[in-house]
Amino acid sequence: MQESKIDEVVNKMIDAATDKGDGFVLGLLKNAENEYGEADGFSRIEVRASRIEPDEFQRIADGRNHIISDVKSFIDYTKKYGDPDKSLIFYNQDGASLTIDEFVDRGEREIVSIAFEKSDEWKMWNLLLTKLLTHRDLNKALVKLTHTIVKPEILLAMRKMKMNVQVVHDSDLQEDDRTIGVLVKSSKGEDLKKFPKQFDIRLPFLDQDVTDKDAWIDATIHLNIELPDDPTKPCTFDFNCHEWNALMRDRVLKDGQLIRDELSDFTIIHGYHKTFQRKVGTTENGLMR
C-alpha cells in the first residue's frame, strides 16, 4: 500500500522525536499544522498549553520568610520580586525592609528585611569604649583585637608594664604631646611607663564587611589613665573615640545611598516601617467594612 503524504510526515516526526528523546505528540501536531494546515483535507489543529489546576487537597504554600544578609542581596531580591509602583522600602540605622505590595488591604503584607549586623570587632571595641579596665584586663582585650590596630605602640607599651607593679601613689601623670606616663614601682625600683595618647584602628563596622578589607573603617582611639585613690589598687585605663557614632551613621548611610542608586525607580524612605491593627466594622481609623 502506498504511503500518503501525512503518513510520511508522521513517520519522520516519530523518528525525530525518538532521536531527541522528546515526546512527539505535541511536536507532531504542531508540525502537521505547519506542513499542511487545512490543505489536502487535513483539518486545522489548535495547539495550546493548559494550566494544571492545583490539587485542592494540597496545603497552601508557605509564605516567604527569607533572611537576607547583605545589601547587594537585598537589592537583587528587590529587583526580582519588587514593583516600583507597589513596593515601599525603608532603611535606618538598624537595617532595611521591603514591602512587596504596600497596597494590600486584606491578609498580610509580605515584608522582607535585612538587619545591619555589627561585626564582632565593632562589638568588642564598642564595649571597650564604655569600660574602665585594669592593665591586666586591657592587655587581654587588646591582644584579641591586634588585627585591628594599625601600629603596635599601644600593644608594646602594655606589654612592657609588668602585672605585679604598683603605681606610685603620690605621683602625677606625666604628659607630652604624644604620650601619657605613669610612675610605677617594683622590686627593681621606680620606673616611668609611657603610653601613646592616641592610636589608630581599622575595622569592619558591619558583619557584611568582614571579608571586604576595602570596606573597613579608620578610627582614632584616645587613651586616658585614672590614678587610684588607694595605693594598693592599680591604675585604670579607658578609651574614647569622638567620632565613633558618626562613623557608624556614615557607614549605614553609605548602604542607604547604594540602595537609592540601584533602586532609583522605587520609593525609598529613611525611617522605620510601622503598622497597627485596624478595627474592621467600625469607623475607627477611617475603615468601615
Cα pseudo-dihedral 85, 91, 97, 101, rounded to 10? -20
pLDDT at 289: 47
pLDDT at 273: 85
Distance CA 209, CA 238 (A): 27
- The partner residues of 68 in beta bridges, in order of sequence, read 114
pTM (global) more than 0.75: no
pLDDT at 37: 55
Residue 27 one-letter amino acid = G
How far is residue 154 from each of residues 2, 27, 122, 276, measured CA to CA in Å?
100, 77, 18, 52
Residue 122 one-letter amino acid = W
Backbone angles phi and psi of 5, in degrees to 5: -60, -40
pLDDT at 59: 76
* Contact status, residue 36 vs residue 6, Cβ threshold 8 Å: yes
* Contact status, residue 100 vs residue 63, Cβ threshold 8 Å: no
DSSP classification of residue 149: B
State the 10-residue block means of pLDDT for the chain, 289 residues long: 63 66 57 57 56 67 78 95 95 92 84 93 95 90 95 90 74 86 80 91 95 95 89 87 95 94 95 80 56
The SS3 of residue 272 is coil
How far is residue 255 from each of residues 13, 91, 113, measured CA to CA in Å?
57, 9, 14
pLDDT at 173: 83
pLDDT at 224: 93
CB-hemisphere CA count at 13 Å for 251? 26
Ranges assigned E (strand) in the chain: 88-91, 95-99, 111-115, 133-134, 166-167, 174-175, 179-186, 189-196, 198-203, 217-226, 236-240, 267-270
Cell of 219: 578610627
Residue 281 one-letter amino acid = G
Alpha helices, DSSP H only, in the chain? 5-20, 25-36, 71-81, 120-128, 135-144, 153-160, 244-262
Cell of 105: 488591604
* Contact status, residue 13 vs residue 27, Cβ threshold 8 Å: yes
Distance CA 206, CA 126 (A): 13
Distance CA 216, CA 205 (A): 7
Helix 5-20 and helix 25-36: axis angle, to 10°? 140
